[in-house]
A and B are shown apart, each in its own frame.
Chain A
Amino acid sequence: MTIPLLLSLRVAALSALLAAIGGITLASLLAHKQGLFWHLIDGIINLPLVLPPTVLGYYLLITLSQRSPLGSWLGSLGIHLTFTWGGAVVAASIVALPLVTQSARAAIESVPSELLDVARTLGRAPLAIFLTITLPLAWRGVLAGIVLAFARALGEFGATLMIAGNIPGQTQTLPIAIYDAVQAGESARANQLSLLLTSAAIVLLVSIRMLTNRISRT
């Protein structure tokens, strides 16, 4: 039981980190942008929210397999992403990315534009303004997005199974272990693991609510 849990935590933490870096960057680029081009970018980022995870996993499998150009190049660098826990991280990051992006974008857009205007007239560079004004004022929304991404990554199943498979001790995360237990008829084990995941999800969702409630009060 502890092996799938530790693996899941490791995959989810790393995925949330990657999704945070990508999501904050994308959110700052997308904030206040209008027009077809930006809507298209926005749509592509949000694709994992609506696509069946199996489709996403299948795409990942064909782009990262040893036979594909990207996969063989990564392989030559010693990075193998199919049927490894690294592949699970890639799958969970992509699934979690739109959650960070959406939440961070809403938080960034809620920072009053006059503050940024004044900061510009005071001579500060765009990156300095982002780091000293935008992020400090938007951090609660950004953090809520990262926690949500972590929760989503913890529960990721379909895409992970497609690209990383079900190798006990190596790629068998908690949700996959539950599937495995049910298949093997071990209902006690399935119950334990399901209860564990459900409790973790409730704790995470409550903490998100506490973060976002503070936003509306300030």
Chain B
Amino acid sequence: MKPHKLAVTINLMIENFHLQANFQAQDEIIAIFGPSGAGKSTTLRAIAGLITPQQGIIRLGQRTLFDAQKNINLPPQKRNLGYVPQNYALFPHLSIAENIAYGLLPHLRHARHQRTRELLELMQLADFAQRRPGELSGGQQQRVALARALAPNPAMLLMDEPLAALEESLRQKLRAELRTIPQRFNVPILLVTHNLSEANSLASQLVILDQGKMCQAGPKDEIMQRPTSPATARIVGMNNILPMRNLDIKTLQWGTYNLEVIPAPPTGQRNAAPLVGIRPEAIRLLKADSGQANTLPARILDDEDFGPEHRLSVRVPGQKPDLEIRISTPKLARLGLQPGDEAFIQIDPTSIHTFP
């Protein structure tokens, strides 16, 4: 079954913050991604009905949750959305079983008990049913928050920074667990994150926000490889933004160097001095000129060790700006290069993205 389509157009002022978000998404896991202060959590809260935008429309499938012009504003109680805030907000005075049962109708005692049992089993919490939230680990608390939100069969699950409160070692495990939720519980997830790798590994659709403004929404790969603006490019980690000149149909000129581009940018988009974006992982570091297209001399300026990979800063003689390269740690070790060394870089012709 295909998940409901979420369509959001909101215009919202709180204190000095102005949020304008406008996107449509339909997938199992959608991530709202952007730096802190982008308005991600505010967007999530507006969808949940916890804050009211001044203008706009929020629709989920056939249901209108909010429409300022038609005076429709369903209270959070009537939206049928599961909400999991950043710190899970478990009720500290209630047992795990009572937390999970909280959203189930109190007078249907049998159904309530059944559903709570079912979720305790599914979330591997049966042993903790009578414990208080304070006695559980971070990972267990998250499962309780998920179970509580899933209990009333919501139409969509809204999660604010689902992994931010967890230690690194748990994150990977819970990321894998989260990915299985839409299939197991037949519910799409809309989550908020400021962590690019988290957005990447969890979601197939991305919504990019920055400083209260909508940047871009769409399939993950399209946004990662073809952002529509340099600003969005930087947010999604396409950190090399270079000014070019158009030489011919498939060649760009960066200062004194010619770069081949495959495929050629559509003619409608050609302007004489375009900006291009290149992802740091699309630039290869070489010890010697291999004779391949787009090979340029470069000097290594700086090396930052991230454990499994390194981030290098390199300078192509006479060119600005300096380039950022990401390279796996073993690959760099094989090359034996370090800051100060002269080397070569090769830019994959298929990964040079010309901004429209």
Interface set of A (CB-CB < 8 Å, partner B): 112, 114-115, 117-125, 132-133, 136-137
Contacts and interface: CB of A to CB of B under 8 A. Distances in A.
Interface of B: 45, 48-50, 75-85, 87, 89, 91-93, 102-103, 148-149, 151-152
A119 B102 contact: yes
B148 A122 contact: yes
Nearest to B93: A136
Given A117-B89, A120-B50, A136-B93, A125 B83 contact: no
18 contacts: A114-B87, A117-B83, A117-B85, A118-B84, A118-B89, A118-B149, A121-B48, A121-B77, A122-B102, A122-B148, A122-B151, A122-B152, A123-B77, A123-B78, A123-B80, A123-B103, A123-B152, A137-B92
Given A137-B92, A137-B93, A120 B75 contact: yes
A136 B92 CA distance: 10
A125 B103 CA distance: 11
A96 to B, nearest CB: 28
Contacts of A120: 49-50, 75-77
Contacts of A119: 91, 102
Contacts of B89: 112, 114-115, 117-118
Nearest to A115: B89
A125 B91 contact: no
Contacts of A125: 77
A132 B87 CA distance: 20
A123 B92 CA distance: 19
Contacts of A136: 93
A159 to B, nearest CB: 38
Contacts of A121: 48-50, 76-77, 79, 81-83, 103, 149
| 9 nearest CB pairs, A to B | A122-B103, A114-B89, A121-B83, A120-B76, A114-B85, A121-B76, A118-B89, A123-B77, A136-B93
Q: Which of A123, A125, A137 is most buried by chain B, counting CB atoms within 10 A of its CB?
A: A123
A118 B77 CA distance: 10
Contacts of B48: 117, 121
Contacts of A123: 77-78, 80, 103, 152
Given A115-B91, A137-B92, A124 B85 contact: no
A121 B93 CA distance: 19
A117 B76 contact: yes
Contacts of B152: 122-123
Q: Which of B85, B151, B152 is most buried by chain A, counting CB atoms within 10 A of its CB?
A: B85
B91 A117 contact: no
A124 to B, nearest CB: 7
Contacts of A122: 102-103, 148-149, 151-152
Contact of A124 (B77, B81, B149): B77
